[in-house]
Amino acid sequence: MAKPFYERLTAMDTSFLILEKPWSPLHVSATLIYEAGPLRSEGRGIDIDAYKEATRSVLHEIPRYRQKLDWIPVAGHPVWVDDAEFNLDYHIRHTSLPHPGTDEQLKQMSARIMAQPLDMSKPLWEAWVVEGLEGDRFAVISKIHHCMVDGMAGQDLAQILHSTDPEDRRRDAAPEWRPRLAPTPAQLLKDEALRYAGLPKKATEGARALTRELIEMRDEFSTRVQSIRDMMSSMRDEPSKTALNEPIGPHRRFDWRDMPLERVKTVRRALGCTINDLVLATVTGAVRDFLTQRGEKLDGLDFRIAAPVSIRSDDDAAMGNRVSQWFVKSPVDEPDVMKRVEKIRAATEELKASNQAMDADLIMNIAEWTPTSLLSLASRSASGSAPYNMMVTNVPGPQEPLYLLGARLESLYSQVPIADSTALGVALVSYAGKLCWGFNADLERVPDLDLFADAIEAAFNEIATAAGVEFEDQGEL
């Protein structure tokens, strides 16, 4: 008889399920725009069957895409089990804009699709193939729950389907898939009881390992303790409230902008900082302008940006989350643009030196042995107000053009989920010589999202000018 199969979610992955609310779904999304190329069908549409078959042929490489959630009785902890009723047609959706569809219409469709929560009774992903886009293009709007992947690394469907070879038309036969036997509730409960019965032994082993680690890092011990203390303090103390930090609703706006990556690198070199520092300084300038236009007072404003940091090793391609977080104080009250850049750089250098990202990971490892009911209670009690004002993610992407069954990927715009009382989030991906900015916002709280996107471009130009860098078309990024 086959042995039942399941995989337990980590504490971090579980937290994304606990913190999700009906008006704040926690899935990672992206809008990818392609030239139609060889995927154009005879009726001038998109060959959806070819896309489905290519997807079917690689699903064995990412088993999580055919798994759904189950729950351990009493403990209430989630596990992954194979979905015996998996149906690819449910997950790949085919839709169209009224031809010729504009980028603005695609943004509106992306916002509506991104706002819809995923069905928790099925594998937690969707891919919407959108045809009818002007310029002989089409789009794929992808959604994958944050509990499956961190959005900064690891394998997902898009990574596997893309190729750097424009002639790659692979249509390998899909290997036979048989769902593994799912455990019964009694089996899950028994395994969980045995797991906690082994806690004293693991605690002893952990104490020994901790002692060895403390001996090895005794010279930096006080720094690490202070780092954890500062991090917990920053999460406990609420930042200042702004117009971007009101309760949000279930509807979204989505916008995007592009920047030539070489320009960004030129300004970075002139400033002697990292690209991430430049990104944070640009966002700070845009927030300053945006809040000023709304009549907000900036003096003494404690505005914090949450910046996810990957702690995944180079050889770790497993799904799930291997990401920590920095909380960067954004000097939106500083009128001098160069001083803003210097303050951002000093803040990120201090965070690097403090190992705050690794300390956050240590806390989550401790949470692995926290009962799910207590983890849920702690998460929900802390979720009334986020310890930051805005999330900004920056993911380096491939610089070679990518192709989907021969169709060239033109641009990709990520959508970072927004938490309650954080009405605007920013996600960046560098790809094929440009920096793609994606802006996700609450529909009601940020009706002028396009103005914020414009403010990003203006803030970047302001920094470039202050750094002594001039471009011929400075105002047309």
359 is a domain residue: yes
How many CB atoms neighbour CB 411 within 10 A? 19
Higher pLDDT, 4 or 476: 4
Domain boundary among 125, 160, 187: 187
Among the residues of 41-139, which ranges form H helices? 48-58, 88-91, 103-115
Res. 315: pLDDT tops 70: no
Res. 203: pLDDT tops 90: no
Q: Report residue 376's pLDDT band, with 50, 70 and 90 as the boundaries.
A: very low
Q: Report residue 323's pLDDT band, with 50, 70 and 90 as the boundaries.
A: low
Same domain? For 260 and 151 the reply is: no
Res. 211: pLDDT tops 70: no
Distance CA 103, CA 452 (A): 18
133 is a domain residue: yes
Higher pLDDT, 151 or 129: 129
Distance CA 231, CA 95 (A): 45
- Give the Å distances, CA to CA, from 232 to 238, 326, 363, 370, 415: 11, 12, 10, 18, 27
Provide the β-strand partners of residue 392: 426
Predicted local distance difference test score (pLDDT) of residue 149 = 77
Cβ–Cβ under 8 Å, residues 24 and 418:
yes
The number of CA neighbours under 13 Å toward the Cβ of 74 is 9
Mean pLDDT (whole number) for 192-209: 66
Same domain? For 154 and 261 the reply is: no
Provide the β-strand partners of residue 307: 326
Tokens of 469: 């860098």
Same domain? For 302 and 449 the reply is: yes
Same domain? For 422 and 291 the reply is: yes
Write the pLDDT tens digit of every residue in 231-262.
555 555 789 999 999 999 999 999 999 999 99
Q: The whole model's pTM is what?
A: 0.86
273 is a domain residue: yes
Minimal CA–CA distance to 436: which of 385, 386, 396, 376? 396
Minimal CA–CA distance to 476: which of 273, 309, 257, 250? 257
405 is a domain residue: no
410 is a domain residue: no
Mean pLDDT (whole number) for 150-174: 77
Res. 196: pLDDT tops 70: yes
Higher pLDDT, 78 or 476: 78
Lowest-pLDDT range, 7-21, 110-124, 414-428? Answer: 7-21
Element (H, E) at 65: none
Same domain? For 159 and 283 the reply is: no
Distance CA 106, CA 348 (A): 36
Q: Report residue 471's pLDDT band, with 50, 70 and 90 as the boundaries.
A: confident
Res. 390: pLDDT tops 60: yes
Mean pLDDT (whole number) for 280-288: 98
Pairing assessment for the beta strands 403-404 and 7-8 based on DSSP bridges: unpaired
Lowest-pLDDT range, 176-180, 261-265, 472-476? Answer: 472-476
Predicted local distance difference test score (pLDDT) of residue 377 = 43
CATH assignment of the domain containing 75: 3.30.559.10
Predicted local distance difference test score (pLDDT) of residue 310 = 60
Number of domains in the chain: 2
Chain-centre distance of CA 286, in angstroms?
A: 21
Same domain? For 164 and 243 the reply is: no
Same domain? For 164 and 242 the reply is: no
Cβ–Cβ under 8 Å, residues 179 and 82:
yes
Same domain? For 244 and 149 the reply is: no
Distance CA 475, CA 250 (A): 34
Distance CA 81, CA 180 (A): 8
Predicted local distance difference test score (pLDDT) of residue 221 = 46
Cβ–Cβ under 8 Å, residues 30 and 139:
no
Mean pLDDT (whole number) for 434-443: 98
Res. 446: pLDDT tops 60: yes
Residue 142: phi and psi, rounded to 5, are -105, 145
Tokens of 446: 């940020």
Q: What percent of the chain has pLDDT over 70?
A: 79
Higher pLDDT, 434 or 216: 434
474 is a domain residue: no
Predicted local distance difference test score (pLDDT) of residue 225 = 47
CATH assignment of the domain containing 308: 3.30.559.30
232 is a domain residue: no
How many CB atoms neighbour CB 318 within 10 A? 11
Cβ–Cβ under 8 Å, residues 397 and 429:
yes
357 is a domain residue: yes
Long-range contacts made by residues 78-82, C-beta under 8 angstroms, separation at least 24?
A: 78/8, 78/9, 78/14, 78/17, 78/147, 79/6, 79/7, 79/8, 79/9, 79/183, 79/188, 80/6, 80/7, 80/8, 80/9, 81/5, 81/6, 81/180, 81/182, 81/183, 82/5, 82/179, 82/180, 82/182
Query: Residue 419 has what DSSP assignment?
Result: -
Position 22: which residue type? P
Range of the domain at 70: 7-168+180-187
Element (H, E) at 44: none
Predicted local distance difference test score (pLDDT) of residue 321 = 46
Same domain? For 158 and 251 the reply is: no
Predicted local distance difference test score (pLDDT) of residue 79 = 97
Write the pLDDT tens digit of every residue in 336-374.
999 999 999 999 998 888 765 444 454 444 444 445 444
Same domain? For 158 and 46 the reply is: yes
Predicted local distance difference test score (pLDDT) of residue 328 = 94
